[in-house]
Amino acid sequence: MRIVLATDAWTPQTNGVVTTLKATAETLTRFGHSVRVLSPQGLSSIPCPSYPEIRLAVNPGPYVARELKAFRPHAIHIATEGTVGLAVRRYCRHRGVPFTTSYHTRYPEYVAARWPVPIGVSYAWLRRFHGAARRTFVSSRTLERQLAAHGFARLHLWRRGVDLRRFRPRAAPHPELADLPRPVMAYVGRLAVEKNIDAFLGLDLSGTKLVIGDGPERAALAARYPAARFTGYRHGEELAALLAGCDVLVFPSLTDTFGLTMIEALACGVPVAAFPVAGPLDVLEADVTGVLHTDLAAAIGGALRLDRHVCAERAATFSWEAASAQFLAGLAPIPAPLRATLAVSRSSVIIARMTARLTAGTRS
């Protein structure tokens, strides 16, 4: 099967969306499918407001048309709601070609944390964007229920996975952690206001608070919490080794849709402390792989007492193979006659439709 993944988030960005899409594309390729990623790479682009790591392509329509005409996909999935996603959606809508979408980020809450935009307005726009899709993929049952309550329909579960060859327990701690006071409590991810990192760093706890990641809030957080250790972004094997040497992962976000770092930590044998919200509720087994509590300090204390071996065992159930099988099951196959419309101009499609209607009218 030829599959198009349209995304505004792609390398060299570091975030859960990019990690998910790259792992999915690689797994689908191993399954024998051909995957074409449409992204802003190589196009004229501008930084996304308040999230400059994401580049928004300027006028990606011609690029989208050229790629879809050449590739003639059997299925199209739009992963993000940026300019590339909008261009692919528009191209498909004009030709009556089915497509699917996914809901990765809580944009209404994200936007409301920065600007005075009512959450209801953002949800209305997102309902319109995703409402044109045959199905919208969501990462958890909790998110599915929440979006359904906001009027979203045709939701399909697409969970996440972890690379168990890389994220695994380690015998010796990472050298950077050797002399740090224990316990080492780690946050991993983007340093931004919507991640609620102050809820963690503001706690009065013994040990070391380790912040692995970067983002627009780093300077402000470092100034407010000079005792915390900030490492910047770490990747691949280095990230896995550093994470495996920690005692607990602290996940303070109230707005993430899944939280990929949680299953990466569990795979390393590191328990998780989090609030009882969407994401942690779906990923963690309460008091087995993590502790969910409205008091984050209590959650951390409880998580430190959990069995690391059990955490690693439970993480083995999260595989990219299983996640990619769910992805494939939710796709909307494009019938052969409609695939042909991808290779013609919009005007030709309109003329063909008008001709069909006139012909049908004459016969009647």
Q: Please name the residue that has the structure tokens 């006139």.
A: 358
CB of 1 closer than 8 Å to CB of 71: no
Work out the average pLDDT over 177-194.
95
pLDDT, tens digit, 9 for 90 and up, residues 226-277: 999 999 999 999 999 999 999 999 999 998 989 999 999 999 999 999 999 9
Residue 346 has pLDDT above 90, yes or no: no
Residue 44 has pLDDT above 80, yes or no: yes
Q: What is the pLDDT of residue 12?
A: 87
Q: What is the pLDDT of residue 264?
A: 97
Q: What is the pLDDT of residue 283?
A: 95
Work out the average pLDDT over 73-94.
97
Work out the average pLDDT over 37-48.
94
Q: What is the pLDDT of residue 360?
A: 56
What is the C-alpha to C-alpha distance for residues 143 and 159, in angstroms, rounded to an integer? 11
Q: What is the pLDDT of residue 111?
A: 73
Q: What is the pLDDT of residue 14?
A: 84
What is the C-alpha to C-alpha distance for residues 252 and 199, in angstroms, rounded to an integer? 6
Q: Where are the beta strands (DSSP E) in the chain?
A: 2-6, 34-38, 45-48, 51-57, 75-78, 100-102, 136-138, 155-157, 184-188, 208-212, 229-232, 248-251, 272-274, 290-292
What is the C-alpha to C-alpha distance for residues 111 and 122, in angstroms, rounded to an integer? 8
Work out the average pLDDT over 90-116.
87
What is the C-alpha to C-alpha distance for residues 223 and 221, in angstroms, rounded to an integer? 5
**Domain map of the chain by residue range?**
2-161+323-356, 175-315
**Tokens, residue 352:** 């063909």
What residues are paired with 55 via a beta bridge?
47
Residues with Cβ within 8 Å of residue 322, at least 6 apart in sequence = 159, 161
Coil, strand or helix at 364: coil
Cβ neighbours of 226 (radius 10 Å): 7
Give the mean pLDDT of the chain.
Answer: 92
Residue 95 has pLDDT above 60, yes or no: yes
Work out the average pLDDT over 18-40.
97
Distance set, CA 287 to CA 25, 166, 266, 291, 320 (Å): 34, 25, 13, 5, 25
CB of 248 closer than 8 Å to CB of 273: yes
> Sheet holding 248-251: strands in order across?
229-232, 208-212, 184-188, 248-251, 272-274, 290-292
| CATH code for the domain defined by 2-161+323-356 | 3.40.50.2000
Q: Which of 35, 32, 55, 59 is nearest to 45 (CA)?
A: 55
Cβ neighbours of 202 (radius 10 Å): 12
- Is the domain defined by 175-315 classed in CATH 3.40.50.300? no
pLDDT, tens digit, 9 for 90 and up, residues 104-143: 877 777 677 777 788 899 999 999 999 999 999 999 999 9
Residue 349 has pLDDT above 80, yes or no: no
